[in-house]
């Protein structure tokens, strides 16, 4: 009887150890958990698509929220992105010099486009 109980005890220990999460990520190096990466696109018409967002509100501006995701950092957090029409400027490469001060400025071409205008971070809301 003692041998049967010993074998049964060792079997239970093996089953319990196999049930533990030992941190194995299935063989992928640098796995970051089950949280998504913040991802969005703005098409040529100014329409914003927020991928995997938990909330997407469109009023006079568009606000996308991820309750717990990776964005510009190594740890997941709540991320809210605000999109609205804003001036988007691109340097033209033309340098002008102020004749009075001698200060150089690079000219820019600006257009009003849909752009990311604000980013808010908060702790994850699980």
Tell me the per-residue pLDDT of 76-93, one tens digit each, with 9 for 90 and over. 999 999 999 999 899 998
**Lookup result for tokens 């992105």:** 81
Query: CA separation (Å) from 38 to 41, 78, 100?
Result: 11, 10, 47
Pair of tokens at residue 77: 């957090």
Mean confidence (pLDDT) of the chain: 80
Over pLDDT 70: what percentage of the chain? 73
pLDDT at residue 60 in the model: 82
The pTM score is 0.62
pLDDT at residue 33 in the model: 63
């Amino acid at each position: 009887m003692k041998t049967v109980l010993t074998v049964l005890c060792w079997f239970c220990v093996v089953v319990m150890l196999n049930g533990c999460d030992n941190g194995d990520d299935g063989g992928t190096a640098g796995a970051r958990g089950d949280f998504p990466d913040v991802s969005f696109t703005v098409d040529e018409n100014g329409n914003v698509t927020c991928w995997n967002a938990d909330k997407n509100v469109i009023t006079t501006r568009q606000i996308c929220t991820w309750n717990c995701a990776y964005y510009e950092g190594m740890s997941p957090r709540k991320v809210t992105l605000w999109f609205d029409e804003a001036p988007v400027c691109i340097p033209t490469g033309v340098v002008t010099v102020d004749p009075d001060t001698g200060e150089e400025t690079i000219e820019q071409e600006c257009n009003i486009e849909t752009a990311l205008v604000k980013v808010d971070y908060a702790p994850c809301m699980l």
